[in-house]
Amino acid sequence: MDWIQLVSISLFFIFLTVFLLKTNSSWNNNSQNLPPRPRILPFLGNLLIMDMKRPHRTMLKLSKVYGSIFRIQLGFQKIVVLAGYKTVKEALVNHADAFAERPNIQLSDEIHEGFGILFSHGENWKVMRRFTISALRDYGMGKRTIEDKITEECKVLIKTFESYEGQPFENTAIMNSAVGNIIVSIVLGKRYQYEDPTFQRLIKLVNENVQLSGSPPVLFYNMFPLFGFLFGARKILLNNKKELFGFIKTTFIEHLKALDENDQRSFIDSFLVRQAEEKKNKAEGYFHNENLTAVVNNLFAAGMDTTSTTLRWAILLMMKYPDIQNKVSEEISRIIGSAQPRTEHRAKMPYTDAVIHEVQRFADIVPANVARATTVDITFKGFFIPKGTHIVPLLTSVLHDESEWEKPYEFYPEHFLDSEGKFVKRDAFMPFSAGRRICLGETLAKMELFLFFTSLLQRFTFQTPPGISKENLDLTPAIGFTAPPMPYKLCALPRS
Per the annotation, where are the binding residues for heme?
Answer: 439
- As a whole number of angstroms, the distance between CA 116 and CA 43 comes to 33
HSE value, Cβ hemisphere, 13 Å, CA-based, for 122:
5
Cβ neighbours, 10 Å, residue 95: 17
Q: How far is the C-alpha of 303 from the C-alpha of 193, rounded, in Å?
A: 18
Q: Cα-Cα-Cα-Cα dihedral of 469, 471, 475, 478, to 10°? A: -50
SS3 393: strand
| Residue 478 DSSP code | P
What are phi and psi for residue 52, nearest 5 degrees?
A: -75, -15
CA 87/CA 93 separation, integer angstroms: 10
- Say which residues have a Cβ less than 8 Å from residue 175's Cβ, sequence separation at least 6: 157, 308, 311, 312
Number of H helices, E strands in the chain: 16, 9
The whole-angstrom separation of Cα 9 and Cα 430 is: 49
State the alpha helices, DSSP H only, in 225-288: 232-257, 267-280
> Of 254, 246, 172, 240, which is closest to residue 212 (Cα–Cα)?
240
Binding residues, by number, are: 439
Nearest to 202 by CA among 126, 299, 279: 299
Ranges assigned E (strand) in 128-279:
169-170
Judge contact between 97 and 433, C-beta under 8 A.
no
CB-CB contact of 360 with 432 (8 Å): no
Total residue length of the chain: 496
* Closest CA relative to residue 208, chosen from 478, 495, 4: 478
Beta strands across the sheet bearing 169-170:
169-170, 489-494, 460-463
| Nearest by Cα to 210 from 179, 181, 237, 230 | 237
Instruction: For the beta carbon of residue 319, count every other beta carbon within 10 angstroms.
Output: 20
Cβ count within 10 A of residue 107: 21
Residue 250 has phi, psi (to 5 degrees) of -60, -40
Nearest Cα to 87, choosing from 61, 72, 68, 100?
68
What whole-number distance in Å separates Cα of residue 69 and Cα of residue 80?
7
